[in-house]
């Protein structure tokens, strides 16, 4: 079973994402900010990370920069899930190491398509 870490400060987004991912056969862990997400990655590196952009404590960009520097941190597929939709933000996310990008709010079908694009569904 593949593991996914959802890093998002919104409890609602984490709940919706968990429901979708579990229906796709993922084991799901959650973190409410990037610092907690990094700590969880240090314990066990996930196969997939759904990552919010704007969070307290550590932003999504700071999270992915730290993740990609960790031993094994190049392995997880990272999908940014955010309301930021301009080209500059997308370029920044991809440049920092994201594999894909999905706009909030998203549904089951949209997330599944993004996961297929990164080889996770």
- CATH code of residue 56: 3.40.50.2300
- Residue 23: what pLDDT? 97
Residues 32, 22: Cα–Cα separation, whole Å: 18
pTM assigned to the model: 0.96
The domain in which residue 63 lies consists of 2-118
Q: Please tell me the least confidently modeled range out of 10-14, 80-84, 107-111.
A: 80-84
Cβ atoms within 10 Å, residue 12: 9
Q: Average pLDDT, stretch 9-26?
A: 96
Q: Per the structure, how many domains does the chain have?
A: 1
């Amino acid at each position: 079973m593949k593991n996914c870490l959802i890093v998002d400060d919104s409890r609602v987004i984490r709940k919706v994402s968990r429901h979708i991912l579990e229906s796709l056969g993922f084991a799901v862990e959650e973190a409410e900010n990037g610092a907690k997400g990094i700590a969880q990655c240090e314990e066990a590196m996930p196969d997939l990370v759904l990552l919010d952009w704007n969070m307290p404590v550590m932003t999504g960009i700071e999270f992915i920069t730290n993740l990609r520097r960790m031993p094994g941190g190049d392995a997880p597929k990272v999908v940014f899930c955010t309301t930021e939709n301009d080209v500059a933000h997308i370029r920044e996310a991809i440049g920092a190491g994201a594999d894909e990008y999905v706009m909030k709010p998203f549904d089951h079908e949209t997330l599944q398509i993004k996961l297929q694009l990164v080889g996770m569904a």
